[in-house]
Amino acid sequence: RSGQESAVVLVAGEDALDHFFIKNPDQLVTRPPEAAVINPHNPDVISRHLVCAAAELPLKTSDPMLAPAPVRAGLRQLIASGGLYLSADGTTCFSPMKNPHRHVNLRGSGARFAIIDTAGNTPLGEIDGFRVYRETHPGAIYLHRGRPYLVDSLDPEIRKVFVASSRVNFHTRVRSHKETRILEISDQKPVYGTMMAVGRLRVTEQITGYDRIQTRTGKVLERIPLDLPPMVFETQGIWFAVPEAVTAMAEKARIHVMGGLHALEHAAIGVFPLLVLADRNDLGGISTPFHPQLESAGIFIYDGLPGGAGLCVQAFSDGKGLLDATLSAISGCPCETGCPSCVHSPKCGSGNRPIDKAGAIFLLKALISVQASPVPLVFPEPLVAEEEKAADESSIAMNLKGKNIHYGVLDIETQLSAQEVGGWHRAARMRVSCAVLYDSQTDNYYEFVEGQVPMLLDHLQQLDMVVGFNIKGFDYRVLSAYSKLDFRQIPTLDILEKVKDQLGYRLSLDRLASVTLNAGKTADGLDALRWWKEGKMAKILEYCRSDVAITRDLYRFGRVNQYLLFQNKAKQTVRLPVNW
Where are the chain's structural domains?
43-94, 112-168, 183-204+233-384, 405-568
Q: Could you tell me if 511 and 567 are in contact, meaning their C-beta atoms sit under 8 angstroms apart?
A: yes
Q: Give residue 30's pLDDT.
A: 87
In angstroms, what CA-CA distances link 32 with 3, 29, 138, 329? 21, 8, 44, 19
Task: Give the tens place of pLDDT for each residue, 480-499.
Answer: 999 999 999 999 999 999 99
Cα separation of 277 and 427, whole Å? 64
Nearest to 315 by CA among 348, 283, 289: 283
Cis peptide before 43 (omega within 30 of 0): no
pLDDT for residue 22: 85
Residue 507 and residue 497: Cα distance in Å, rounded? Answer: 10
d(CA 315, CA 196): 11
Sheet holding 492-494, edge to edge: 444-449, 432-439, 407-414, 465-468, 492-494
Residue 446 bridge partners (DSSP): 437
Predicted confidence at residue 398, as pLDDT, reads 43
Determine the 3-state secondary structure of 497 from DSSP.
helix
Say whether 519 sits in a helix, a strand or coil: coil
What residues pair up with 291 in beta bridges, in sequence order? 296
- Region for residue 470 given its phi and psi (left: phi exceeds 0; alpha: psi -120 to 50; beta: otherwise): left
Using alpha carbons only, how large is the chain's radius of gyration in Å?
31
Tell me the helices (H) and strands (E) count for the chain, helix number first. 18, 21
As a whole number of Å, the end-to-end CA separation of the chain is: 66
Of 570, 580, 572, 563, give the one whose Cα is nearest residue 82: 563
CA distances from 380 to 12, 185, 386 (A): 46, 9, 12
Q: Are 17 and 50 in contact (CB under 8 A)?
A: no
- Kindly give, in sequence order, each residue whose CB lies less than 8 Å from that of residue 7, ignoring residues fewer than 6 positions away: none
What CATH number labels 405-568? Answer: 3.30.420.10
Is residue 436 within 8 Å of 545, Cβ to Cβ?
yes
d(CA 293, CA 287): 13
Low-confidence ranges of the chain (pLDDT < 50): 380-402
Distance from C-alpha of 23 to C-alpha of 227, rounded to nearest angstrom: 43
CA distance 466 to 439: 9
Helix (H, G, I), strand (E, B) or coil at 518: coil
DSSP type of residue 256: -
**Closest to 66 measured CA to CA, from 38, 40, 87:** 40
The DSSP-derived string for 302-340 is EESSTT--SHHHHHHTTHHHHHHHHHHHHHT---SS--T
Amino acid at 515: V
pLDDT for 1 = 62
CB 118 within 8 A of CB 152: yes
Q: Which residues on adjacent β-strands are paired with residue 234? A: 202
Strand, coil or helix: what is 63?
Answer: coil
380 sits in the region (left: phi over 0; alpha: psi -120 to 50; else beta) called beta
Distance (Å, rounded) from C-alpha 551 to C-alpha 495? 8
